[in-house]
Amino acid sequence: MQWSATAPSNIALIKYMGKSDESRNIASNPSLSYTLNALTSTVELRLNSKPLDQWQPLPSTAYTDFELSDKAKQRFINHLRFLKQGFDFQGNFLIRSNNNFPMGTGLASSASSFAALTKCAVTAFTELTNVTPLPISGIAKLSRQGSGSSCRSFFTPWALWEDTEISAIKLPYRHLIHQIILVDNKEKEISSSKAHKLVLTSPNFKGRTTRASQNLDELMSALNNKDWKNAYQICWREFMDMHELFHTATPSFSYMTEATKLHLAQLQNLWEEEGDGPIITMDAGPNIHLLFREDQAILAQRYQDIFSRNRCV
């Protein structure tokens, strides 16, 4: 018996960083994301003849050498065990997965991979145990337990996660053009799980919940008023606020390389020259995400040419 599911990644404009309840993956602050439907993970589950859960790469044309670290495999298997317990299912599985984009680079591979694993496992258990299918919000909550940001990948194009509630939110700009300036595609040294813990030591963490909530309110009203420039400024302030938490933590750490800083300065200059530009944001990684409005397709092409050496997707 075999099941398969694919799920997209998402990019947060208001960032989830720091947990108020680590055991349940409850974020200290609300977050807002845009779903990246072109960046996906696929998970396939098969009942395993061996008495254990195992992970293997799923053969794909995108990344032939796709492999997970031992730690990442264990995290994936642990999440499957958590789901099995919830459904009171005793069998074992062979988990096969892949991404259509590089992992561990701040491109939120944990969001898409945990969403795909949860979706696939819930489908399998529903069938195997004959239970009533869960609503999407219930599946998203289960996924949150594996990776917080993955709960937002169940809703498109905009998702809002606040405390234990995750939902789609109606905002303009339903079709954005997404580009990544890929500064580095090596796996990052400080995982986001570690970052969530370390930021608690930053003196800036006090007040972070209030600042993020305020940024969220201001961003939603800027988007609703179609005030793109203001939305860009709020998003910039927001990702910088998260990165300052990293820089001021004990021990302090940074995902920003010299190349990241140079690109950010260049992006700011381009905005100033044009009086227009993309929304710019960064996750816990050195790479830079750009979101253009649909009517900025020519501008997006220009950025693609300027950053052609580093552009990823």
Spatial separation of the C-alpha atoms in residues 130 and 127, rounded to whole Å = 5
Q: Is 147 an interacting residue with respect to ligand PMV (CB under 6 A)?
A: yes
Q: Which of residues 80-99 bind ligand PMV (CB under 6 A)?
A: none
Q: Which of 93, 26, 30, 23 is nearest to 220 (CA)?
A: 30
Our CB check for ligand PMV shows the closer of 97 and 192 to be: 192
Among 45, 108, 120, 290, binds ligand PMV (CB under 6 A): 108
Query: Which range in 11-19, 206-214, 224-232, 257-265 contacts ligand PMV by CB under 6 A?
Result: 11-19
Given 99, 110, 215, 296, the residue binding ligand PMV (CB under 6 A): 110
Q: Residue 284 interacts with ligand PMV (CB under 6 A)?
A: yes
Tokens, residue 232? 């860009």
Residue 12 or 264 with smaller CB distance to ligand PMV: 12
Does residue 235 interact with ligand PMV by CB under 6 A?
no
Q: From the list 6, 28, 193, 230, which residue makes contact with ligand PMV (rule: CB under 6 A)? A: 193
Smallest separation, CB 149 to ligand PMV (Å)? 3
The full 3-state SS of 34-98, as one line of letters, equals: EEEEEEEEEEEEEECCCCCCEEEECCCCCCCCCCCCHHHHHHHHHHHHHHHHHHCCCCCEEEEEE
- 287 interacts with ligand PMV by CB under 6 A: no
Q: 3-class SS at 163?
A: coil
41 binds ligand PMV (CB under 6 A): no
Sheet holding 177-181, edge to edge: 177-181, 288-292, 279-281
Residue among 252, 266, 267, 217 nearest 238 (CA): 217
Cβ atoms of residues 115 and 150 within 8 Å: yes
Binding residues (CB under 6 A) for ligand PMV: these are 12, 15-17, 31, 108, 110, 147-149, 192-193, 196, 283-284
